[in-house]
Amino acid sequence: MAIINLKKKEVQAKIVYYGPGRGGKTTNLEYIYKKFRNRIQTEMVTIKTHGDRTLFFDFLPIEIGRIKGYDIRIQLYTVPGQVKYESTRRLVLRGVDGIVFVADSLAVRRNENVLSLKSLTENLASYKKSISEIPLVFQYNKRDLLNEGIPLLPVEWLEKDLNSKLNAPSFEASALKGPKVVETMKKIIIMTIDSLRKDLT
């Protein structure tokens, strides 16, 4: 749930990057942080563990600035993707306002994507939130590997597996190299702020 302080005119929204392990959630935030750190002027917090994996979460706050008298702050989080950290994922989802589902385009990861989306649906339900109602953007990551001859899932398959019922906006991205990383983030921020507008008037 976003923190909206009407008295102080502050809005703080929470966006979570969710998806299977090693899919590129942290890399998304790292790209944004490295590329725009001079502009966003905040620090990224990350807690890693064995083999560079996310242990609890990554956290990147972004100050959007004052709009219509409201100070808008966005908090980007990632969840640990590894299967064993289910309880941590659920915890990070508490109070979430928008989700980016980072799917792994590698052909060998097809099942992991589906399982991760299922876990997202269940974890949201535990907070009485529906995946079909919360602002959601899909990012099909690692598309750059197509040029390197690595077997990837066709986007049509990813859409069918993950997005056929939800019909959420989706982007073909490469978190490592940058294409569509920023677009994904802008889209989810706009959708999230949109969903909060009714509380701001």
Partner 1 sequence: MAKQRDRDDFRSQVEDRLEHLFQEDSPGATDEHVGLVEHPLKGLKAVMLSIDWEITDSTMDSLLNEIKNVEFIYSEDRIILTFLQLLGSIGRYVKANKGRAHPEATRLINSVYEALERVALTEGMSRSHKEKMLLEEVAKFKKLKEQVMLRKGEKQQPVVSEATPPPAPAWESEKIRGEGIPAREEEFPVRKEAYLETRPEGRFSEMSPHEAFAYALEEIKNVIRAEFRALRAEIKLWRESK
Which residue in this structure is represented by tokens 């398959």?
157
Which residue in this structure is represented by tokens 């502009």?
39
171 Cβ partners below 8 Å, 6+ apart? 137, 138, 139, 140, 180, 183, 184, 187
Cβ closest to partner 1, residue 122 vs residue 199? 199
Query: Rule CB under 8 A: is residue 189 a binding residue for partner 1?
Result: yes
Query: Rule CB under 8 A: is residue 53 a binding residue for partner 1?
Result: yes
Cβ closest to partner 1, residue 69 vs residue 164? 69
Query: Rule CB under 8 A: is residue 49 a binding residue for partner 1?
Result: yes
Binding range to partner 1, per CB under 8 A, among 77-85, 93-101, 116-124, 130-138: 77-85
Q: In 3D, which of 185, 158, 152, 159 has the Cα closest to residue 28?
A: 185
Query: Rule CB under 8 A: is residue 29 a binding residue for partner 1?
Result: no
Residue 141 to residue 108: CA distance in whole angstroms: 14
Q: How many residues bind partner 1 (CB under 8 A)?
A: 44
By DSSP bridging, strand 70-78 and strand 53-67 are: antiparallel
Residues that bind partner 1 (CB under 8 A): 21-22, 32, 35-36, 39-40, 49-53, 62, 64-65, 67-68, 72, 82-84, 106, 108, 142, 145, 147-151, 174, 177-179, 182, 185-186, 189-190, 193-194, 197, 200-201
